[in-house]
Amino acid sequence: MSNPEETKGTTTPHVVKEELMASGNWVKLEKTTYMDPAGNTRTWETVKRTTRQKNTEADGVGIIAVLKRTLHKDCMVMVKQFRPPLGCCTLEFPAGLIDEGETAEMTALRELKEETGYRGEVVGVTPVTCLDPGLSNCTTQIVLVNINGDDGENMHPTQELAGDLILLFSSTGDGEFVEVILLPLDEIQTKINDLLQKEKIMVDSKVYIFAMGMAQAFFKPRELPVLKQ
């Protein structure tokens, strides 16, 4: 009898075939046949977007946008919107799908302008990152953008219609679809927690992890060092 430990891990896992199970305008469902590390053939149910462009491995971008203004704390520019798959509103980074011919940086600046009205400057971009790999091949690049809030065009930001479907509104208007929320960077986790207490809203995991990281960055270094045993 063979020892399972001897055969385990000897195969490089790989996809064998992908079969379409169902398709819509925006997403499709596939049956993915793959070989696992033990050499067994298995299947997986995989969701894919139908909209990914040829020139990119990323479906879309998320935008970490920092609004910088004289005599104000730096603020994160966030968006709140109703998300049909969740049946509730979410707190997210501004985001959007990459259009044909666009780089991640171009998409980030376009989507930021459309969703929030702000004109930004790209200061960093991540590699292609996965979003929910147990369900989907969906990928994103996170783009870090600074916004000069002292610039005239950013003093009274005006959102713009994006493509054919998103209707945008000013954060004080009625009938809105995308609401802009500014949160101070140095208190972001507390402010998100306050928001979650106050209203029925789901926070995007990327946003909450960012907020936890900021809390660590802002507060831990100021704590008194403690002797470790």
Ligand X SMILES: Nc1nc(=O)[nH]c2c1ncn2[C@H]1C[C@H](O)[C@@H](COP(=O)(O)OP(=O)(O)O)O1
Give contact residues for ligand X (rule: CB under 6 A): 26-27, 95-97, 111, 162-163, 165-166
CB of 75 to ligand X, least distance (A): 20
CB of 148 to ligand X, least distance (A): 24
Nearer to ligand X (CB atom), residue 189 or residue 210: 210
HEC string of 38-82 equals CCCEEEEEEEEECCCCCCCCCCEEEEEEEEECCCCCCEEEEEEEE
Nearer to ligand X (CB atom), residue 95 or residue 185: 95
**How far is it, in rounded angstroms, from Cα 95 to Cα 48?**
18
Cβ atoms within 10 Å of 193's Cβ, excluding its own: 14
Do residues 146 and 68 make contact, with C-beta atoms less than 8 angstroms apart? yes
CB of 220 to ligand X, least distance (A): 33
CB of 78 to ligand X, least distance (A): 13
Nearer to ligand X (CB atom), residue 67 or residue 97: 97
Give the DSSP per-residue string, 99-113.
Answer: PTT--HHHHHHHHHH
Nearer to ligand X (CB atom), residue 97 or residue 183: 97
**How far is it, in rounded angstroms, from Cα 208 to Cα 220?**
18
